[in-house]
Amino acid sequence: MKLRMRIRKGREVKFISQLDMMRALERAMRRARLPVKFTEGFNPRPKMSFTPAIPVGITSDAEYVDVEFTRELALEEIYDSLNSTLPPGIALLKVGDAEGKLPLSSVNRALYTVVVGLGGASREALEEAIGKILSSTEIKMVKKSKGKEKEVNIASGIYGIKINTAENDRFTLKMELAAGQDASVTPFMVVDALREYLPSLNVLGVNKDELFVFDRGRKILPL
C-alpha cells in the first residue's frame, strides 16, 4: 500500500538537507519495524518520494512524502509508532492513503510565515516596499543551481505578501509563493527583493505553513 505523510521539520533540524530528512525517516521506520517496500538491485532503497526540497535554514509544517509498504497497515498504528521513533524535531502530522490523490509532483504553491526585523524602518516603509514588489512585473534574481548561476524573473511567482502581526521592530509576514517543479520562489528571494527598497530588513525566521496545488482558483491540499 502507498501512504502519504505530512511531516514537520522543526527548529532542531532546520539546517538538515532533504537527503538527511529522508534518511531520518527511513531509520525511524526501521526502528518502528514498519514493512517498507524496497527497490530491487544491489543498492536497495526504500520506495519513497518527497515534495521538492526547501532551502536549509527554514522550518516546515508541510513536507509531504509518499511511502510504499509491503502490506496493509492501520493508519493509527503508523501514526503512533512513527511519532514515537522519529528523532527530536521531526514529527508525523498526518497520514493517509496516497491512492487516488494528486501526485506530489503536481504541487505548485506554498504559504510561508516570515519573521523579519525592520532594522529601525517604519511600517509605512515596509508597506510601500511590499506594494512595489506586488505591482512589479519584472524582478530579476540570480539563482544558483548545480553550481551554475542564471538570472530568473520571480515576479510571476509572487502571489501575495501580507503583514500579519507586528511587535515593535519585528513583523510577521505571510507569503504565498510558487513552489513546484516548474517554478519556485523562496522567501529569501522575496526578502532580497524587498531589500532593494528597504535595505535594513533582515530575516529572523521562516516557516513553510502549507503546500498545495492551486488549480483554477481552487486550493487542493495533498492530504
Contact set with another protein (CB under 8 A): 12-13, 15-17, 20, 24, 26-31, 33, 38, 42-44, 57, 85, 87-89
Closer residue to another protein in complex, CB, 153/202: 202
Q: Provide the minimum distance between the beta carbon of 59 and another protein in the complex, in angstroms, as a whole number.
A: 12
Closer residue to another protein in complex, CB, 38/122: 38
Q: Provide the minimum distance between the beta carbon of 107 and another protein in the complex, in angstroms, as a whole number.
A: 25
CA distances to 51, 106, 218 from 214, in Å: 15, 9, 6
Q: Provide the minimum distance between the beta carbon of 12 and another protein in the complex, in angstroms, as a whole number.
A: 5
Q: Provide the minimum distance between the beta carbon of 87 and another protein in the complex, in angstroms, as a whole number.
A: 4
Of 30, 45, 211, 177, the residue nearest 219 (C-alpha): 211
Number of C-beta neighbours around residue 223 at 10 A = 19
Q: Provide the minimum distance between the beta carbon of 156 and another protein in the complex, in angstroms, as a whole number.
A: 28
Closer residue to another protein in complex, CB, 45/123: 45
CA 156 to CA 83: how far, in whole Å? 38
Closer residue to another protein in complex, CB, 15/170: 15
Closer residue to another protein in complex, CB, 57/160: 57
Q: Provide the minimum distance between the beta carbon of 42 and another protein in the complex, in angstroms, as a whole number.
A: 5
Closer residue to another protein in complex, CB, 13/78: 13
Number of C-beta neighbours around residue 71 at 10 A = 7
